[in-house]
Structure 1
Amino acid sequence: MPVDGEPTTPIRSPAGLAALLGVRIPIVQAPMTYIAGAQLAAAVSNAGALGVIETTSTQGREDLKRVRDLTDAPVAANIALAARNDPSTVDVLADAGIRTVITSAGDPRVMTGRLRDAGMTVFHVVGSLRNALKAADAGVDGVIVEGVEGGGFKNPQAASTLVLLPLVASRVDLPIIAAGGICDGPSMAAALVLGAQGVQMGTRMLTSAESPIHDNLKNAVVGADETATVMLSVRGLPTMRVLRTPTAERALAAGRSDVGLDGIPTLYFTGDLAASMANTGQVAGRIGRVEAVADIIGQTWAGARAALDDARARLDA
């Protein structure tokens, strides 16, 4: 929620979204479990965008306070509603000075009212028009529209960002952040044209220099091509888009997985790609190198403006 006395830039613009979030650049870092901690979130916020702390893991919840040793800039928090919907969470976030909350993986009606009553701005992640309308009815301040090409847990029947984003923009009168397939200026520009006011990046941030994951996974993502992820829907695991590792290929062939999600921390932090499934978006095929967060954000924002200028010049040629 805007604070009394703040500029009232129209929210249905990138500048308006940035003002609502309290940042300079309308880019949000995705709340990846185990990865979206103080180190990464602070780097994103210090670069002028919005860093996000996940609260599903114990470390993430501890990082809500630790991040204040690393940045004075606004930092958001994520609540995965299926895993954490205790009303006391609102007090925890308030005590940590959180003003923006991203809810996901559950019914937005569960927490939106409490969060907004506490003065927090609430965005809810949606993967369909139906869920976007439901979130709007729940009173959220905005939605994060995520296409099926994004990494992590997914509905296998969901639409791509190219289809879903303009559909939601045509039916929901709220600020929109686009997610799924965003990694640079041209993809951000496309999202803005399709109706978003900002973007969220996950896989791109996963491969950043400040990301805490092991270099083995970063290098696997950077070395991937556009066919290197798979939508895995097998017995024993939720449906999710993951990197096409030998472990994922075996699960796909067998229709079941011989590893569980409890191995994800081992995969992330020791680099053992056989320990679990590596949640990764299709956009991995467009990521060519590990870069510092500040460079990723600066280049994406400048590149989006340049791409829009170039498109206008070509239209007028």
Structure 2
Amino acid sequence: MKNRITELLGVKYPIVQAPMGWIARAQLASAVSNAGGLGIIETSSGRLDEVREEVKKMKTLTDKPWGINVAQAFVRDPDIVQFVADQGVRFVTTSAGDPNRYCEALKSKGLTVFHVVPSLAAALKAIEAGVDGLVVEGGEGGGFKNAREVSTMVLLPLVCSKVKVPVIGAGGIVDGRSMAAAFCLGAEGVQMGTRMVSAAESPVHQNWKDRIVQAAETDTVFLNRFGPGPALRALRTEKTSGFERTPPENIMAEFGHVLDLYFGGDMEASIALSGQVAGRIDEVKPVAQILCETVEEFAAVMAEMGAKYGRAAQPA
């Protein structure tokens, strides 16, 4: 596959792994890069000393392209731009903040910069800031969200109709069919989050993976819509079902025991961020298999649609 995304990222397939805090580290990211996609190392955990160690591991696990995400709301290091530039990557995504904050400085270091956006207004602001591209993330995706969430089906074609930069679609992407849908809506690449959380190489506890596999499409909750603090989408558990009805005063305080959930398997210890595509995942698979099946299905679906409807699109 060749398009602007593969050329900018230097990858075989325009498939990017989402930068989930504590999860998007060397073990998972290297598997994605080695399989032909683009692995991303997170900074949203805020633990840059640990991230440095993960970067060192990454360099021993893959010689393929990979990137780093700068989650502005969680990174307090004033030297983050130099930190990213020193890692030898060519691609960085910025998120959870003003695209003007780091874009110019990152680009001055020779990096390709994409900003994650949840709305058209945010997309246009990022374009004004000079980004090279966008990750357009619909509200069905997991993690921290815009309180006024818009689905990928609406947001992605809207943004793509207004901008000229390459776009990576995110939110609801889990396989080749959803990748094909994103391309039909204007994207040139896709980002997968929940699908990668459930992958064999994901470092999270098996209990979390099992919950994703068992989940129905209705088994996520949208929390904290009215604040204070960020809104977010998570798996439905006893805790999060309660929060859906009665939000805590400080949603971020609920992440104080997040590692007990992520790696200890206590699904009530914290909040398991997850997208609605959990309801479409029925098996834990290795990353290489996920990417291979995605690309094969993508090609088959696009060919099928062309054969079935190509003539219908021709003028009489």
TM-score (norm 1): 0.92
Report the CA distance between 1:128 and its aligned residue.
0.1
Residue 245 (str. 1) matches residue 233 (str. 2): no
1:290 is matched with: 284
1:78-103 residue CA offsets vs partner (Å, 9 max, x unmatched): 00112226442222222211110000
State the match for 2:26 in structure 1: 38
Which of 111, 122, 129 is matched with 1:131 structurally? 122
SS of the counterpart of 1:231? strand
Q: Which whole-Å CA distance do the structure 1 matches of 2:169 and 2:52 have between them?
A: 26
Q: CA deviation at 1:15?
A: 2.3
Which residue of structure 2 lines up, in the alignment, with residue 52 of structure 1? 40
How far the C-alpha of 1:16 sits from its partner, in A, is 2.3
Name the CA distance, whole Å, in 2 between partners of 1:254 and 1:150.
Answer: 22
Residues 250/237 of structure 1: CA separation in 2 closer, same or farther (3 Å cut): farther
Distance 2:145 2:134 in 1: 17
1:237 touches 1:260 (CA, 8 Å); kept in 2?
no
Cα distance in 2, alignment partners of residues 28 and 78 from structure 1: 12
1:35-74 deviations in Å (ceiling 9; x for gaps) = 0000000000000110000023322343122210111111
Matches within 5 A, 1:16-27: 16-27=4-15
Query: In structure 2, how many angstroms separate the alpha carbons of the residues matched to 1:215 and 1:295?
Result: 19
3-state DSSP of counterpart to 2:239: helix
- Indicate yes or no: 2:204 matched with 1:213: yes
User: How many aligned residue pairs are there?
Assistant: 305
SS of 1:162's partner is helix
SS at match of 2:282: coil
Letter in structure 1 aligned against 2:254: G
- Residues 192-211 of structure 1 mapped to structure 2, 5 A cutoff: 192-211=183-202
Match of 2:125, SS state, is helix
Residue 127 of structure 1, CA deviation: 0.3
Residue matched to 2:266? 272
1:34–1:60: 8 Å Cα contact kept in structure 2? no
Q: Residue in 2 aligned with 1:314?
A: 308
Question: Which residue of structure 1 aligns with residue 314 of structure 2?
Answer: none
In structure 2, list runs of 5 or more residues that go unmatched: 312-316
- How far apart, CA to CA, are the structure 2 residues paired with 1:124 and 1:63? 23
Q: Could you list the per-position Cα deviations for residues 112-139 of structure 1 after superposition, in whole angstroms to 9, with x for gaps in the alignment?
A: 0011000000000000000000000000
More deviation, 206-215/305-314: 305-314
Q: What is the CA–CA distance in structure 1 between the aligned matches of 2:31 and 2:255, rounded to whole Å?
A: 27
Q: Distance in 2 between matches of 1:146 and 1:300?
A: 19
1:116 aligned onto 2:110: no
Alignment match, 1:169: 160
Paired with 1:168 and 1:294, the residues of 2 have a C-alpha distance of: 30
SS in 2 for 1:312: helix
CA distance in 1, matches of 2:77, 2:13: 32
In 2: Cα distance, 1:299 partner to 1:287 partner: 13
- Give the SS at the match of 2:97: coil
The sequence identity of aligned pairs, in percent, is: 51
Shift of 1:265: 1.5
Q: Report the equivalent of 1:5.
A: none
Match of 2:146, SS state, is coil
Q: How does 1:218-229 map to 2 (within 5 A)?
A: 218-229=209-220
**Taking structure 2 as the reference length, what is the TM-score of the superposition?**
0.93
Contact kept? 2:255, 2:270, Cα under 8 Å = yes
Instruction: State whether residues 179 and 201 of structure 1, in contact with CA within 8 Å, keep that contact through their aligned partners in structure 2.
Output: yes
Shift of 1:14: 5.1
Residue number in structure 2 paired with 1:92: 83
Instruction: Return the alpha-carbon distance in structure 2 between the equivalents of residues 93 and 256 of structure 1.
Output: 35
1:132-159 deviations in Å (ceiling 9; x for gaps): 0000000000000000000011123121
Equivalent residue, structure 2, for 1:305: 299
Alignment correspondent of 1:7: none
- Tell me if the contact between 1:102 and 1:125 (Cα under 8 Å) persists in the aligned partners: yes
Kindly indicate whether the alpha-carbon contact (under 8 Å) linking 1:184 and 1:299 is maintained by their aligned counterparts in 2. Answer: yes
Instruction: Report what 1:260 is aligned to.
Output: 254
Gaps of at least 5 residues in structure 1 are 1-12
Q: Deviations for 1:260-288, whole angstroms, at most 9, x for unmatched residues?
A: 11222210001000101110000100011
